[in-house]
Amino acid sequence: MNNRSVKKVVIAGGGTAGWMAAAALSKLLGKHLEIVLVESDEIATVGVGEATIPTLLYFHSLLKINEAEFLKATHGIYKLGINFENWRAKGEDYLHAFGVTGQDCWAAGFQHFWLKGREQGIATEFGDYCLEKVCATENKFAHLPQNGLNYAYHIDATRYGQFLRSISEEHGVYRIEGKINKVNLNQSSGFIESLRLQNGQLIEGDLFIDCTGQRALLIEGALHTGFEDWSHWLPCDSAIALQTTSVKAPVPYTRSIAHDWGWQWQIPLQHRVGNGVVYSSKFVSDEEALATLKNNIEGDILTEPRVIKFRTGTRRKHWNKNCVAVGLSSGFIEPLESTSIHFIQQSIVRLLRMFPQQGIEQADVDEFNAQTMFDLESTRDFIILHYAVHNREDSAFWQHCRRMQVPEPLAQRIRLFKQSGRVFRKNNELFDDSWMQVMIGQGLIPDSYHPIVDNMSDDELAKFLAHIKHNINGMANQLPEHSAFIKQFCASID
């Protein structure tokens, strides 16, 4: 496709995506590559993206990042899951935790045992059998041996960028401040040759990583890659973000509170709280959404509310010619399950695995795009699940979501689970136990359970369920308070 070996990588954009790409490439391939990052002080980063999922720990271990230093620098805390309030029905909630619920047997997942226990009135809430959920609601945290407690983080997005910038510069990344105003293409191959800055400077490269956020200057602006719109399945198209002071110790989970036309997030950090609403502009005005947000926050407002408009969907290709789109330039699925930073890291790691040092091969490009699309579609379906399955009929928005046609693979998962309680993870997709937690949490209770459960006597089943809860509660009781752990392990000083 292009036999030119890749010696120089140009990263356009210095948000979370740009600096994550710069840090990973420089740390792992910096000895063989020249890496330049261009960002404009005139164009702000999106400034949100503060809740993560546990996969970030793998990215950090690849970069040999020290967790305590990282949390101090980003004012971060631990996150054990997301509490979904008013989603199943007004006044009800459930917590989607990062752990595994109960104990499976070879033929049937724990949900089958729980279903029979529920039928007999001897099982409590599904989440009570998950250590991470119990620790989250009881505000407990510690590092357990063998990753016994699955966790992620809440971080200050701006500080995370600065933290990664220092790692990148330490490993040789050269940062150029300036506004890109032209992307030059090779006339015969259509490959990107250089970026021209407003001051006339020309930045040439062999491989370009588009991290220019929603502007997508390279992948779309120059290469016209095309966009697949998913907004008919995920109707929210707007968000408002603002920060407030903390009024209490941070809880180790994200709060997601459903409103009549979307939902609100609350992401506590060590010193402040990130807040926002995500909504569909067809069902509520910006003014009304902001008023609701302001009525449902605690603490003093620290920042001007910012309205962010977005389009849900994905670039048709994430790697096109000699350009790889990473971050918001590659598309966006709303932040309900905090998956965007995960997709940034996935694209970076995938690129590292398929790094085209000898020149760009179409087979690599096609494989990269196919893997990326699979990951995105499965996560998209998981997010749609929250909107499609619930018992809310109290507003036009929720009625619309309940009646909406969902992608067929999701419809099949819902049918299978409803009928038999069965759920299977496909091709190493991102979410596993989560499907079950969210389906049950959203109120989808299967009509039957696996017959193997009946091999246990009623008494054995009662003991089995009680034993799991006993162990979990015993473990949670031994752990310190989340805020005490933060104070001792990673309190930020600035």
Which active-site residues does the annotation give? 79
CB 355 within 8 A of CB 305: no
Give yes or no for a contact between 421 and 111, defined as CB atoms under 8 angstroms apart: yes
Q: Which is nearer to ligand FAD, 102 or 213 (CB)?
A: 213
Write down the residue that tokens 């890291």 correspond to.
345
- Alpha carbon distances (Å) from 187 to 191, 197, 259, 390, 455: 8, 20, 51, 53, 71
Which among 15-23, 138-146, 311-319, 407-415 is the span making contact with ligand FAD, rule CB under 6 A?
15-23
Q: How many residues does this entry show for the chain?
A: 494
Distance in angstroms (rounded) separating the CA atoms of residues 301 and 304: 8
Q: How many residues bind ligand FAD (CB under 6 A)?
A: 38
Stretch that binds ligand FAD, among 16-24, 111-119, 168-176, 255-263 (CB under 6 A): 16-24
Is 308 a binding residue for ligand FAD by CB under 6 A? The answer is: yes
Secondary-structure percent of the chain, ordered helix, strand, coil, rounded to 5: 40, 20, 40
Quick one: which of 101, 111, 137, 212 contacts ligand FAD (CB under 6 A)?
212
Dihedrals phi, psi of 135, to nearest 5 degrees = -65, -40
Q: What is the DSSP letter of 198?
A: T
Closest distance to ligand FAD from the beta carbon of 270 (Å): 17
Provide the mask over 265-304, with x wherever binding to ligand FAD is found by CB under 6 A and - wherever it is not.
-----------x----------------------------
Q: Would you give the DSSP letter of residue 222?
A: I
Q: Does 54 interact with ligand FAD (rule: CB under 6 A)?
A: no
Q: Which is nearer to ligand FAD, 45 or 101 (CB)?
A: 45
Q: Which of 358, 396, 140, 118 is nearest to 249 (CA)?
A: 140
| Contacts (Cβ under 8 Å, ≥6 apart) of 272 | 75, 156, 243, 244, 245, 246, 299, 302
Q: Tell which positions 425-464 bind ligand FAD, by CB under 6 A.
A: none
| Residue 254 beta carbon to ligand FAD: minimum distance, rounded to whole angstroms | 7
Q: Is 410 in the site for ligand FAD (CB under 6 A)?
A: no
156 contributes a contact to ligand FAD by CB under 6 A:
no
State the nearest-atom distance from the C-beta of 161 to ligand FAD, in Å: 8
Please state the closest distance from residue 468 (CB atom) to ligand FAD, in A.
31
Chain centroid offset of residue 167 CA:
23
Q: Which of these, 93, 75, 77, 74, lies nearest to 85 by C-alpha position?
A: 93
7, 143, 179, 425: which one contacts ligand FAD (CB under 6 A)?
179
310 binds ligand FAD (CB under 6 A): yes
State the residue for tokens 């595994």.
Answer: 100
| Strand partners of residue 238 | 279, 309
Rounded to whole angstroms, how far apart are CA atoms 227 and 217? 14
Among 6, 11, 40, 129, binds ligand FAD (CB under 6 A): 40
Tell me if 475 sits within 8 A of 70, measured CB to CB. Answer: no
**From candidates 33, 130, 217, 376, binder to ligand FAD by CB under 6 A:** 217
For ligand FAD, the closer of residues 326 and 468 by Cβ is 326
Pair of tokens at residue 478 = 């031994």
Region binding ligand FAD by CB under 6 A among candidate stretches 82-90, 167-175, 201-209, 334-342 = 334-342
Rounded Cα–Cα distance for residues 150 and 250 (Å)? 18
**Residue 285: CB minimum distance to ligand FAD, A:** 17
Measured from the CB atom, is 40 or 314 closer to ligand FAD?
40
Judged by beta carbon, residue 49 or residue 268, the one nearer ligand FAD is 49
Choose between 123 and 240: whose C-beta lies nearer to ligand FAD: 240
237 lines the binding site for ligand FAD (CB under 6 A): no
> Counting contacts by CB under 6 A, is residue 196 touching ligand FAD?
no
Structure tokens at 282: 């067809």
Binding status of residue 215 toward ligand FAD by CB under 6 A: yes
Tokens of 119: 């039928």
Start-to-end CA span in the chain (Å): 50
Q: Say whether residue 155 binds ligand FAD (CB under 6 A).
A: no
Report the distance separating Cα 423 and Cα 31, nearest Å: 45
Determine contact, residues 79/175, Cβ cutoff 8 Å. no
The residue from 86, 225, 275, 338 that contacts ligand FAD (CB under 6 A) is 338
By CB under 6 A, residue 51 contacts ligand FAD: yes
CB within 8 Å of 119: residues ≥ 6 apart: none
Residue 490 engages ligand FAD in binding (rule: CB under 6 A): no
Q: Are 330 and 347 contacting, i.e. CB atoms less than 8 angstroms apart?
A: yes
Beta-bridge partners for 272: 245
Whether 314 contacts 228, CB under 8 Å: yes
Q: Measured from the CB atom, is 14 or 235 closer to ligand FAD? A: 14
State the minimum distance, in angstroms, from the CB of residue 456 to ligand FAD: 41
Among 30, 76, 99, 213, binds ligand FAD (CB under 6 A): 213
Question: Within 250-361, where are the H helices?
Answer: 286-295, 340-353
* Candidate residues 211, 438, 472, 479; the one interacting with ligand FAD per rule CB under 6 A: 211
Of the candidate spans 28-36, 49-57, 60-68, 287-295, the one that interacts with ligand FAD by CB under 6 A turns out to be 49-57
Q: Which residues bind ligand FAD (CB under 6 A)?
A: 13-18, 38-40, 43, 45-46, 48-52, 157, 179-180, 211-213, 215, 217, 239, 241, 276, 308, 310, 327-329, 335, 338, 340-341, 344
